[in-house]
Amino acid sequence: MQKINVDEISLKILALLQKDARMSFTEIGKEIGLTSSSVAERVKRLENYGIIENYTINLNPEKMGFPITAIMLVSFAGIFTQQEKDIVNALSKYYQVIECLRITGKNDFLIKIMVSSMDEFKIINDEVAKFGQVETSLVVTTFTKNTTVDIEKMLKTEKI
């Protein structure tokens, strides 16, 4: 995969779009000192490079009726590649699955779910347990919630 070098102006555009994906090219241009057509051209380029994958909104899970968030760590036994396919297939039917990640370390998968009740939690937990050993933690407090790199903070921080 080729790494694309993104300059500071494009990073500023990305930071503004992360805050508000509905911000107009004119508003972005005023904020960073470019014409709206220059902003549009850069955004199109960022989309074409695959840096901007999509535009979305963030929902409040509790207000949507999902007050329980759980993190499940799964360790497989047996043929990993088949179990990986099977668990991904099984989880695809649950809209409550927010993330499913293959990870390194003593566990093989990390699954994040948001559910409306402990009954819903039990159904999904029991399904996951069919694939291996499950260690589950309920989220008590969320301190940070980022879906991507905080570009504003990145621009203000010296490289490590």
Kindly list the structural domains of the chain, giving each domain's residue range(s) and its CATH number in brackets, ordered by start: 8-57 (1.10.10.10), 68-138 (3.30.70.920)
Helices 80-91 & 118-129, crossing angle to 10 degrees? 160
Percentage of the chain surpassing pLDDT 90?
Answer: 71
Q: What is the pLDDT of residue 145?
A: 82
The answer, yes or no, to whether residue 78 has pLDDT greater than 80, is: no
Q: Across-strand partners of 114?
A: 69
Q: Across-strand partners of 130?
A: none
Tell me if 70 sits within 8 A of 38, measured CB to CB: no
Query: Which residue blocks in 33-130 are alpha helix, DSSP H?
Result: 36-48, 80-91, 118-129
Residue 135 C-beta-side C-alpha neighbours within 13 Å: 8
Instruction: Give the pLDDT band (50/70/90) at residue 38.
Output: very high
Instruction: Give the pLDDT band (50/70/90) at residue 79.
Output: low
Distance of CA 156 to CAs 12, 17, 46, 92, Å? 11, 17, 21, 39
The answer, yes or no, to whether residue 102 has pLDDT greater than 80, is: yes
